Copies of this chain bind each other. A is one copy, B any other.
Amino acid sequence: MKKIINDPKRVVDESVAGFGAAHADLVRVEMDPIHIVRADAPIAGKVGIVSGGGSGHEPLHAGFVGFGMLDAAVPGAVFTSPTPDPILAATKAVDGGAGVLHIVKNYTGDVLNFETAADLASVEGIDVRSVVTNDDVAVKDSLYTAGRRGVGGTVLVEKIAGAAAERGDSLDEVAEVAERVNANARSMGLALTPCIVPHAGEESFTLAEDEIEIGIGIHGEPGRERIKLEPADGLVDRLLAPILEDLPFESGDRVLLFVNGMGGSPLVELYIAYRRAAEVLGERGIEIARSLVGNYITSLEMQGMSITLLKLDDEMVELWDAPVQTAALRWGR
Which of the listed residues A271, A298, A330, A332 has the most CB atoms from chain B within 10 Å of its own CB? Answer: A271
Question: How many Å lie between the Cα of A236 and that of B118 in the bound state?
Answer: 41
Number of identical protomers: 2
Q: Which residue of B229, B233, B275, B333 contacts A2 across the interface (Cβ within 8 Å)?
A: B229
Is A84 an interface residue, CB under 8 A from the partner?
A: no
Return A132 CB to nearest CB of chain B, in Å: 25
Residues of B within 8 A of A332 (CB): 333
Question: How many Å lie between the Cα of A278 and that of B14 in the bound state?
Answer: 12
Which of A3-11, A40-48, A94-102, A122-130 forms contacts with chain B?
A3-11
Which of the listed residues A193, A232, A278 has the most CB atoms from chain B within 10 Å of its own CB? Answer: A232
Is A80 an interface residue, CB under 8 A from the partner?
A: no
Q: Which residue of B2, B6, B193 contacts A209 across the interface (Cβ within 8 Å)?
A: B2
CB distance A22 to B274 under 8 Å?
yes
Is A157 an interface residue, CB under 8 A from the partner?
A: no
Residues of B within 8 A of A225 (CB): none
Is A63 an interface residue, CB under 8 A from the partner?
A: yes
CB distance A16 to B301 under 8 Å?
no
Residues of B within 8 A of A229 (CB): 2
Which of A144-152, A162-170, A247-255, A259-267 forms contacts with chain B?
A259-267
Which of A52-60, A105-113, A180-188, A312-320 forms contacts with chain B?
A52-60
Is A200 an interface residue, CB under 8 A from the partner?
A: no
Is A305 an interface residue, CB under 8 A from the partner?
A: yes
Q: Known contacts being A21-B278, A22-B291, is A268 close to B12, with CB within 8 Å? A: yes
Is A206 an interface residue, CB under 8 A from the partner?
A: no
Q: Which residue of B17, B192, B272 contacts A15 across the interface (Cβ within 8 Å)?
A: B272
Residues of B within 8 A of A293 (CB): 18, 22, 327
Beyond A4-B270, A18-B293, A22-B274, 12 extra complex contacts between A and B, CB < 8 Å? A4-B269, A11-B268, A18-B273, A22-B259, A23-B291, A56-B268, A58-B268, A264-B301, A264-B303, A293-B327, A295-B295, A301-B303
Interchain residue pairs with CB less than 8 A apart (21):
A2-B192, A2-B193, A2-B229, A3-B192, A4-B192, A4-B269, A4-B273, A7-B231, A11-B268, A14-B232, A16-B271, A17-B275, A18-B272, A18-B276, A22-B259, A23-B291, A58-B268, A58-B271, A263-B267, A295-B295, A330-B330
